[in-house]
Structure 1
Amino acid sequence: MREHIDTFLVSVGKERGLSANTVAAYRNDLEQFATFLGSAYGLGSWADLSPAELGDFIAYLRQRQYAETTVARKLAAVKSFCQFLKEQGILAINPADRLPSPKVGRFTPRAITPEEVTALITAASSDPSPEGLRDRAMLVTLYATGMRVSELTALDVKDVDLERGLVRVNRNPERPRWVPLNPEAIATLQEYLQTGRPLLVQRPDEPALFLNHRGSRLTRQGFWLILKQYADQAGVPEVTPHTLRHSFALHALSQGCELRELQRILGHVSPATTLVYQQLLQQAATSPDGHLSTGSASTYTEAVSQGVTVVPHE
């Protein structure tokens, strides 16, 4: 049964261009499902799967007091997998077709204002060391592109084309995702590559763009610690890498970025995911003070006045 999970993950990864973290989450959820079926029913073939086992799996998850959002995520993975098994002819019918989805609370992205982003970047700009140049380049690039932190730390030097002002976020040859860089991101990356990275690198064949003090690839955890340090210095509480991703999306839309283009830049598989940002902006337009409850500015002109350009131009 595990081989079918492996085949599904390869297929869905290529088809949807999913990140490594998303594929890993799918694997964990489906392997938990397979383990449950084996221990509870002794099921040895996916062909024997029925709606009854799926219902019992949901009950099992709730008995273990998983959050409804977690149950919904696991069920989404199972539903996609069942559809795959049907398409492969392993299942005659999809037992998950009529399975109800758990009701979860609506997710509201949390963003920060352009002034707060500027404060973060300013905090990093005060350090002229190689690490400071790296940190400023990372913060500016993350905010200028809206990429995920896993995508940021996975960047290699060859993924950055400063002449064309582009960065290759997804290196999947079948689904390459080139994202434009704004002038500030180009400038900070160029300074880091010319002045900062040569003092951090220890092996001439090191491919990673952003390096730690040992000269190897900076990890996601390492970036989180760096971001927290500058957030504390700037007095911006509760900032995560995804906060900058949400901020980029909201500020880009408020300046006039097309929804479909934003979906492409962010790498969203479903347009419904990107639509959340537009709905938030519409709420801000009708609110008494014209601002989002998430903390994001309703217009992008504030960012321009601060000298921060976040919407990429092709």
Structure 2
Amino acid sequence: MAKRRTKLQLMQESGPPEKPSHSADTIREEFLNYLRGECHLADNTIEAYGRDLNRFIGWVGKRRLDSIRVGDLTQFMGTLSEAGLAPASVSRAVVAIRTFFKYLQLEGTVSENPAELLAAQKMWQRMPGVLSQRQVDQFLRAPRRSDAFWLRDVAMLEVLYATGCRASEVCSLRVRDLSLDQKHLKCTGKGGKQRMVPIGNRAIAAIERYCEQLRGELAAKPPHPPDELFLSRSGRALDRIQLWRLVKHYAKRVGIDSGISPHSLRHSFATHLLAGGADLRQVQEMLGHASIQTTQIYTHVEHSRLKRVHQQYHPRA
């Protein structure tokens, strides 16, 4: 009777197993899981990288990923610009493709990373939309007592401008994150990173009025009281789309440009701080930027302030 061979002996006799062929959909999902599980990126960033990867995979077609060279990637980025994508979107796509090839290299799918040599476009070739201080005042006064949820809306708009928080951060803000007596709140940003953000007297007063007069009524509607600070008419947490629509609604009411969005208040927050003489590192910390290079897009305002000082005081200006 022949001796039974072990599983290890069978594997040794048959040689190493062939690598399973991965479809584009499988590679995409595994990459997104890598971003989520190992890179701990925010959901919005993962979603954006997924769109960038869809464009890239569609452009690559049936070509092997290990045959892609830096010249090919440069050509792909050129197609994005020709398609009308904003410089910031093209720059993000560069980062997404770099990260994707880094992942492929870690997985052994490619031996070299051609995306390391990929030149990124200059970030923010146009200045971000910023409201003047007069426009901010008009905008924050836009909600009227006749509006059904004006107390909530006033508090929400005040928080957006007072803290410079992203729309998603404001929507996820919980009551227990507030430390109004100490004039700050705890914000959860990209990748679950938390930071303490100062908040001013006007925003504090608006939050207190909203909590005392309206929030309890809204929170009583669902079966379980929600933790979030800003609630919709149904008593559930306000989402980013609802917040975006409210900002658009109030901007239109006071005649502000239709391109204004919740992010415009974040831009205005940073711009006005720098114009007032704030240190760039301090603004970086308040905005929750991982890199100071991202915060530097606002320094054009600081330069304009220095230009005014020069014109006012220099004898040869």
TM-score by length of 1: 0.77
- Measure how far apart 1:11 and its partner are: 5.3
Instruction: Find the counterpart in structure 1 of residue 128 from structure 2.
Output: 109
Give the 3-state SS of the residue equivalent to 2:246 in structure 1.
Answer: helix
Q: Deviations over 1:174-209 (max 9, x none)?
A: 632221212222221122112111122212422222
Give the 3-state SS of the residue equivalent to 1:112 in structure 2.
Answer: coil
Contact 1:159 1:167 in 2 (8 A): yes
Q: Pick from 190, 199, 220 the counterpart of residue 208 of structure 2.
A: 190
Contact 2:124 2:297 in 1 (8 A): no
Give the 3-state SS of the residue equivalent to 1:76 in structure 2.
Answer: helix
Q: Which amino acid aligns with 1:282?
A: H
TM-score by length of 2: 0.76
Q: Pick from 38, 41, 51 the counterpart of residue 28 of structure 1.
A: 51
Q: Are 2:191 and 1:169 aligned?
A: no
Give the 3-state SS of the residue equivalent to 1:169 in structure 2.
Answer: strand
Q: Pick from 142, 146, 154 the counterpart of residue 160 of structure 2.
A: 142
Instruction: Find the counterpart in structure 1 of residue 197 from structure 2.
Output: 179
Residues of 2 paired with 1:156 and 1:251: CA distance?
Answer: 27
Q: Are 2:173 and 1:155 aligned?
A: yes
Q: Which amino acid aligns with 2:268?
A: S
Q: Which amino acid aligns with 2:289?
A: H
Query: What does residue range 68-87 of structure 1 map to in structure 2 within 5 Å?
Result: 69=87, 70-86=89-105
Give the 3-state SS of the residue equivalent to 2:142 in structure 1.
Answer: helix
Instruction: Find the counterpart in structure 2 of residue 40 from structure 1.
Output: 62
Q: Pick from 96, 106, 113 the counterpart of residue 115 of structure 2.
A: 96
Residues of 2 paired with 1:68 and 1:166: CA distance?
Answer: 35
Instruction: Find the counterpart in structure 2 of residue 300 from structure 1.
Output: none
148-157 vs 230-239, greater mean Cα deviation: 230-239
Q: Pick from 216, 230, 235 the counterpart of residue 215 of structure 1.
A: 235
Q: Deviations over 1:47-88 (max 9, x none)?
A: 66544653554465467x243624333222101332344456
Q: Pick from 120, 142, 160 the counterpart of residue 139 of structure 2.
A: 120
Residues of 1 paired with 2:161 and 2:209: CA distance?
Answer: 17
Contact 1:13 1:19 in 2 (8 A): no
Could you tell me the percent identity over the aligned residues?
31
Contact 1:159 1:169 in 2 (8 A): yes
Instruction: Find the counterpart in structure 1 of residue 278 from structure 2.
Output: 257
Residues of 2 paired with 1:193 and 1:13: CA distance?
Answer: 37
Alpha carbons of 1:128 and 1:194: their partners in 2 closer, same or farther (altered >3 Å)? farther
Query: What does residue range 2-21 of structure 1 map to in structure 2 within 5 Å?
Result: 2-10=28-36, 13-14=39-40, 18-21=41-44
Q: Which amino acid aligns with 2:162?
A: A
Alpha carbons of 1:52 and 1:240: their partners in 2 closer, same or farther (altered >3 Å)? closer
Alpha carbons of 1:53 and 1:185: their partners in 2 closer, same or farther (altered >3 Å)? same
- Measure how far apart 1:248 and its partner are: 0.6
Larger Rg: 2
52-61 vs 155-164, greater mean Cα deviation: 52-61
Q: Which amino acid aligns with 1:196?
A: L
Quote the RMSD (CA, aligned, Å).
3.0
- Measure how far apart 1:128 and its partner are: 7.0
Q: Pick from 215, 218, 232 the counterpart of residue 200 of structure 1.
A: 218
Q: Deviations over 1:186-240 (max 9, x none)?
A: 2211221121111222124222221121222222222222223322333333332
Give the 3-state SS of the residue equivalent to 1:123 in structure 2.
Answer: coil
Residues of 1 paired with 2:228 and 2:172: CA distance?
Answer: 7
Residues of 2 paired with 1:167 and 1:66: CA distance?
Answer: 39
Q: Which amino acid aligns with 2:31?
A: I
254-263 vs 83-92, greater mean Cα deviation: 83-92
Q: Are 2:292 and 1:271 aligned?
A: yes
Q: Deviations over 1:257-313 (max 9, x none)?
A: 2211211211222211111212322134315998xxxxxxxxxxxxxxxxxxxxxxx
Alpha carbons of 1:161 and 1:23: their partners in 2 closer, same or farther (altered >3 Å)? farther
Contact 1:5 1:30 in 2 (8 A): no
Q: Are 2:257 and 1:234 aligned?
A: no
Residues of 2 paired with 1:52 and 1:234: CA distance?
Answer: 49
Residues of 2 paired with 1:271 and 1:101: CA distance?
Answer: 17
Aligned residues: 281
